[in-house]
Amino acid sequence: MKIVVALRHVPFEDLGTFEPLLRQRGYDVRYHDVGVDNMSTIDLQHVDLLAVLGGPIGAEQLREYPFLRDEIELIRARLASRQPMLGICLGAQLIASALGASVRPMGHKEIGFAPLTLTTPGQLSPIRALDGVDVLHWHGDRLDLPAGATLLAYTAQCDTQAFMVGPTTLALQFHPEFDHRRMEQWLIGHALELQAAGVSTASLRTTAIVRGGPLKVAGARLLDQWLRGAAE
């Protein structure tokens, strides 16, 4: 059985709709709770897919969250192996940081459902599955495109929304794995952030019901196409 290890920062930002898809494809899904579980117990040689998930902290907050240093070192080791790795939101930022790119606050929040603008390489990549689909954005940091990476998508508020490093590393600033049936967990977990940003919980709740279904379908196509390409 293939193994996916998911680095999880908060319980409700897990693999979401991707988890049952991975299990259907023969993966044993194992979560590693960052800051709690010992990072040194992860043997990357026996990990078929490393997923670095989202969370409410920033990749640049190394002083406040020292465990991020160990996480970034693990990501660097995974990059060196050229084996499949998926980064989502904070995970994408940590991959960028591991590659030497800058990650910093945007000065505003990008929270809510909105489409991506695909680059020409993006239109030829697995990201094309999301073309015209409203994805969930939920971040306040931006990242520079790492040297050697290929930009796949952007939005008006954030100029690096997705990038790839070769065929095996995919980094996504947004949340294609979001399960709209669990929106209440996100609203509770990010209550202070939403209040500070002036974002309406009622609006997010209503929009999630409408956008969640199409996102789930498109996210499944994205994951399937990327996994097949990474395996090749």
Query: Strand, helix or coil at 222?
Result: helix
Percent of the chain with pLDDT over 90: 97
85-88 and 169-172: which strand pairing?
Answer: parallel
pLDDT, residue 231, reads 80
Query: Strand, helix or coil at 213?
Result: helix
Q: Domain total for the chain? A: 1
141 closest CA partner among 89, 202, 217: 89
pLDDT, residue 83, reads 97
Q: How many CB atoms lie within 10 A of CB 96?
A: 27
Q: CA-CA distances (angstroms) from residue 97 to 14, 122, 149?
A: 21, 21, 12
Query: Strand, helix or coil at 175?
Result: strand
Distance of alpha carbon 23 from the chain centroid: 19
Radius of gyration of the chain (CA): 16
What CATH number is given to the structural domain containing 115? 3.40.50.880
Main-chain phi, psi angles of 57, to 5 degrees: -105, 175
Main-chain phi, psi angles of 206, to 5 degrees: -65, -45
Say how far apart CA 215 and CA 232 lie, in whole Å.
26
Say how far apart CA 67 and CA 218 lie, in whole Å.
33
State the residue range of the domain holding 29.
2-231
Q: What parts of the chain have a pLDDT lower than 70?
A: none
Q: How many CB atoms lie within 10 A of CB 94?
A: 27
